[in-house]
Structure 1
Amino acid sequence: MATPNNAPVQLSREQVRLLLFYEHRSGSSTRHAADRINNLMGADTVTHATAVRWFQKFRRGEVEFKDSPHSGRPQAVDEDELLALVKEDPRQSSRCLASKLGHSHSTINRALHDLGFSWKQPIWVPHVLSDFQRQMRANVAASLLSERRTKTWLSNLITGDEKWTLYVNYHRGRQWLKPGESGVPTPKQELHPKKVLLCIWWSVEGPVHWELLPTNTTVTADLYCKQLTRVAEKIKGKMDRVYFLHDNARPHVAKVTHQKIQELGWTTLAHPPYSPDMAPTDYHLFRSLTHFLDGKQFQNEDHLKTELQSFFDSKPREFYRKGIEQLPIRWQYIVDNNGAYYVD
């Protein structure tokens, strides 16, 4: 089997095992067998440990030189099967998928990465919508899109809402820590923290009117009507027609409020329940304000008012315009997706 000039010979596993079997039948020891094969066929053709293992098999009567089929994990991942499992439940961990498919955790991670997946936290949605609620959202969005208005009608839109604003806003962020360190502790928010209700109305130009209600005061229909009067005074002579968008809170849909809006001559836009993704104050203005307030503490109401005014003034006109001009895009998405929440 050796070449004439005793050059090393490349042998298959089966050929090496056949030579070991020959040495075993010849009565050689494992050490002598390994040395003899390496001398004849080339160094490192077979290790002593391999000779020991196969001699033990031969003594047990196992004389099969080919590799036996592996009962362990297969090497190739069935991408179609993996995709089907992910589609069935995207919340399954890679370890769970590895167990189902018979692969290692690292193999499944690589396959998911190659398919373009990444392990992320899902987006919170405000409410589990029923079929009826989804249909209502889609119908309202379709109706708002179908209205024939001028191209610049959103410039005449006034929208607003209320938000509880805390005097103490704790921030719990990540910290650089060494093993065993607990970091700077963050206290839990009190069960009944000191807070005040912010009420704001705004347009593409920015805030029209905002106010903080006295402590322990909430919005009633009568108070809301008085607030709308103040808003109307601020925009008097600035808009030839007013489109008004607010949510379905009780004071907003009360009979006296409806009468007040008619008296002002405003056109109210429909707004379905459980739909903050269709309210610019929720999905745009208050989201940014929440980030601004994170970690801030205020000694008194004047301090809070100063910081709120600073926030509103710091935002360019484009910020307010962008928030309102997203509405048609969101309406179209909701129509196209059968009333599902717009997630961004």
Structure 2
Amino acid sequence: MAAFLPSEDHIRHCMLFHFHAGLNAAAATRKICDTYGEVLEVNKCQSWYRKFAAGDYDLNDMPRSGRPVQFDEDALKSLVEADPRLSIQELSRSLQSTWSTVQRHLHQIGKKCRQGVWTPHELSESNKDQRRTICTSLLTRLNSDPFLNRIVTGDEKWILYDNVKRSRQWLLANQAPRPTSRPTLTMRKVLLSIWWDCSGIIHFELLRAGETITADSYCSQLERLQSKLIEKRPALINRRGVILQHDNARPHTARITQEKIKELGWEVLLHPPYSPDIAPSDYHLFRSLEHSLRNKTFNSVTDVERHLQSYFASRPADFYRNGIENLRSRWRTVIDNDGDYIID
């Protein structure tokens, strides 16, 4: 979704609002920039405050005489194409023009302000080549061996006890927003370990306070997963064979873990490093789970577990199958992207 880009008129109304609210120009500038980014300089706000203090609340520009200044749209286009992260304030300084003029011409050349996305890692050419090679190998295998329904995928995720988000509020001009408590630096949380396949959740655990995932504890988890597979997926254990998909975290790749997986008779699916975009839990299950946690508050591990059980049971029949089967198209996209990340 495109970020809201305030007009010059909107910024002036904000300054007038903060003036009547009793804030000085520096504080008003900080508040406006905290909300919209670097859209206002304090000296400009001070200029408007002097006008307001004189009893002039007209927000329109005064008429000016003389020849209008020519704006170089080609220079603007060159700047934003060289570095699309430049703010309007930075562009204004480079082009020696006003904020509102730059904003207007950005719209005229078809530019819109959109939020950037985080990527998990700065991929080297070697990383990209490895991602391409593994995805090509998996797609080639899939042509002769439809193995997606044999995949058991697992991962870990921190679940916060307090998931309250600060959001924008629709208010009257003189109405104060409802406050939201700031999260503490020592937020309570619990680590979820989970495994699932095309048919749904096979097993999940919430670690006790102070516990972490080590190679030894992960091996114990895999033994409990094996018991659940025997109970819930006997055909997978007895005939087809488990293909375990997990990432390259150290507990997953340790020697004793590899020995445990070999003892259980499972295959490990090839998975390139730094690749959450082709890990079903990351791109599918956890993303959906995050929406269900929004604005939820839990008082205990039992509350968290109850919510997770309810959420997992509420997913439609094709939810889990779609998450696994999307691997095919995502492998293809990685190849088409020359190994670069999939940006959803």
How many angstroms apart in 2 are the aligned matches of 1:139 and 1:152? 19
Partners of 1:196 and 1:216 within 8 A in 2: no
Q: Does residue 185 of structure 2 align to residue 191 of structure 1?
A: yes
- The CA deviation string for residues 218-264 of structure 1, in whole angstroms up to 9 with x for no partner, is 12212212221222232332321222110111110111111111122
Q: How does 1:106-125 map to 2 (within 5 A)?
A: 109=103, 112-113=106-107, 116-125=110-119
Distance 2:298 2:224 in 1: 27
Question: TM-score, normalised on structure 1?
Answer: 0.71
Q: Which runs of 5+ in 1 are unaligned?
A: 1-68
Paired position in structure 2 for 1:72 = 69
Residue identity opposite 2:114 in structure 1: K
What is the one-letter code of the residue matched to 1:340? Answer: D
Cα shift at 1:279: 0.9
* Counterparts in 2 of 1:151 and 1:106: CA distance versus 1, 3 Å: farther
Deviations 1:12-64 (A, max 9, x none): xxxxxxxxxxxxxxxxxxxxxxxxxxxxxxxxxxxxxxxxxxxxxxxxxxxxx
Residue 338 of structure 1 aligns with which residue?
Answer: 338
Q: How many residues get paired?
A: 273
User: Alpha-carbon deviation of 1:71?
Assistant: 7.8
Answer yes or no: is the 8 Å Cα contact 1:77–1:103 preserved in 2.
no
Q: Is the 8 A contact 1:73 1:104 kept in 2?
A: no
**1:177 corresponds to 2:174:** no
Equivalents in 1 of 2:152, 2:295: separation in Å?
30
Question: How far has the Cα of 1:89 moved from its partner?
Answer: 1.2
Q: Find the counterpart in structure 1 of residue 197 from structure 2.
A: 203
In structure 2, stretches of 5+ residues that fail to align are: 1-65
How far is 1:144 from its partner?
A: 2.2
Deviations 1:270-295 (A, max 9, x none): 22222211211112111111221121
CA gap 1:102/1:273 in 2 versus in 1, 3 angstroms: same
Does the 8 Å contact 1:204/1:317 carry over to 2?
Answer: no
What is aligned with 1:129?
Answer: 123
Superposition RMSD in Å? 2.6
Structure of larger gyration radius: 1
Match of 2:297 in 1: 297
> What is residue 23 of structure 1 aligned with on the other side?
none
Residues 241 and 149 of structure 1, relative CA distance in 2, 3 Å threshold: farther
Partner of 1:258: 258
In structure 2, the partner of 1:231 is 225
1:221–1:254 contact (8 Å) kept in structure 2: yes
Displacement, 1:304? 1.6
Distance 2:183 2:316 in 1: 32
Q: Which amino acid aligns with 1:122?
A: G
* Larger relative contact order, structure 1 or 2 (CA cutoff 8 Å, min sep 6): 2
SS at 2:318's partner residue? helix
Query: d(CA) in 2 for partners of 1:321 and 1:114?
Result: 45
Q: Who is 1:153 aligned against? A: 147
Q: CA deviation at 1:159?
A: 0.4
After superposition, the Cα gap between the structure-2 partners of 1:70 and 1:100, relative to the gap in structure 1 and judged at 3 Å, is farther
Partner of 2:248: 248
Q: Which residue is equivalent to 1:322? A: 322
The 3 A distance-change label for structure 1 pair 100 and 317 is same
Q: CA deviation at 1:342?
A: 0.7
C-alpha distance in structure 1 between counterparts of 2:184 and 2:162, whole Å: 10
**How far off is 1:180 after superposition?**
5.2
CA distance in 2, matches of 1:95, 1:220: 49
Deviation at 1:203, TM superposition (A): 0.7
| Partner in structure 2 of residue 308 of structure 1 | 308
Q: Does residue 275 of the first structure (1) align with residue 312 of the second (2)?
A: no
Amino acid aligned to 1:208: I
